[in-house]
Amino acid sequence: MEDTVEDPPTSAVLLDHCHFSQIIFNNVEKFYVPGGDVTCYYTLTQHFIPRRKDWIGIFRVGWKTTREYYTFMWVNLPTDVQSESTKEQEVQFKAYYLPKDDEYYQFCYVDQDGVVRGASIPFQFRPENEEDILVVTTQGAVEEIEQHNSELCKENQELKDSCVSLQKQNSDMQAELQKKQEELETLKSINKKLEQKVKEQEDSWETELLQLRVHNQKIASENEQMEVRVDQLQAQLLTQEKEMEKLVQGKQDKTQQLEHLKKENDQLFLSLTEQREYQRTLEQTVEELKQKEATAMEKQQELMDQNLDLSKRLSENKVICSVLQKEKERIERENDLLKRENGRLMSYMGLDFDSLPYQVPTADQGGTGQSPGLVYGNPYSGKTVCHLTLYQEMPHLHVKLC
């Protein structure tokens, strides 16, 4: 195949799908003599249009697919397909590429799709038998035969050289094939490692996915706990609001703050993030309220301390008043006794108490000495002394005693 550079297009189409009647082969011999070129004549039918990649191959009888060709030649495209003169075509096979055995072969026309469009009758490659022809040899014929033998020897040497070249190419191709096989084995090993790595990665992904699922369940549980905690905080917040309502009764500014807290509390149901933000705001507000409450408690404690101090003073005053009242009653009883005693003594002495020119001085007169008309002195002088004594013992009592 001296004029070919690439392999012809073939296919695995079975014989049942071929169309052998579109190309007709003409003048096909029963046998061809080895060592000579072979010309194949064929005719294109009316409805067949040849294409650039069509070819004619020599196939051994019994072939199954177009891949089983022995040799081939590209067809010549006619300049005018419709012309009758271009219907008759021919290709020539060089003797070097023809089979060397005596098996039966046939020509087959194969288009560029790998489909057979025509096939010839079978033929052989064998020398002529003596029974078939009588050879008359002359000196010129002998020289011609010798020249032909020389050409055949030369062609044989060329064939040997070509065979050596082909063997070298075959060896190179075998080495290339071995190299490709080694590369294939390397690729298989790399592919196996990659598959193992992919499997390990898949296992790792499955593990990570399982961990993510567990983590997701844990987060969901934590979210539920957070929701419960938020509900508890909301309940506590409501309780604190009630307590704050009790603490800030009568103060309009605190009531407005509580209303603001209620509005903010209604917004807690929008989202967990807003609830947390609002919770921080509430904590700040509660802290301020606690500070205000602490301030109020301090003021209340101061008032209670003052009230307790006043209560103590009032209690002491009450005690002093009670003591003074009892002392007054005692002194009055003593005065009554003294009066009765003085009356009795005066009666005993024959004096009239009411007729005495001297009267007992009262407390308003400020008398501190004894009456000369009384046997036992002035009975009222002890009252003043008692009062003065109490005043000296408790100087912190600002009570005017009469």
In this prediction, residues 103-120 reach a mean pLDDT of 94
What does DSSP say about strands 69-74 and 55-60: parallel, antiparallel, or unpaired? Answer: antiparallel
pLDDT band for position 1 (50/70/90)?
very low
Give 98's DSSP letter: S
Output DSSP code: residue 380.
T
Distance, in Å, from the CA atom of 19 to the CA atom of 117, rounded to the nearest integer, reads: 5
- Rounded to an integer, what distance in angstroms lies between the CA atom of residue 36 and that of residue 288? 120
Question: Rounded to an integer, what distance in angstroms lies between the CA atom of residue 110 and that of residue 18?
Answer: 10
14: left (phi over 0), alpha (psi -120 to 50) or beta: beta
Nearest CA to 264 out of 246, 283, 288, 249 is that of: 283
Tokens of 299: 């003021």
pLDDT of 319 over the 70 cut: yes
Least confidently predicted of 89-103, 223-237, 270-284: 270-284
What's the token pair of residue 180? 């490709």
User: Which pLDDT score is estimated for 138?
Assistant: 65
Give the three-class secondary structure for 97.
Answer: helix
**From CA 314, how far away is CA 310, in angstroms rounded?**
6
Q: Is residue 114 within 8 Å of 66, Cβ to Cβ?
A: yes
Cα–Cα nearest to 60, from 100, 90, 92, 21? 100
- Average pLDDT (212-241) is 90
From the number of C-beta atoms within 10 Å of its C-beta (0-12, 13-18, 19+), residue 121 rates as exposed
Residue 55 has pLDDT above 90, yes or no: yes
Predicted local confidence at residue 3, as pLDDT: 45
**What average pLDDT does the segment 124-135 reach?**
67
Q: What is residue 374's predicted lDDT score, i.e. its pLDDT? A: 45
Strand intervals (E) in 88-208:
88-93, 104-110, 116-119, 123-125
pLDDT of residue 370: 44
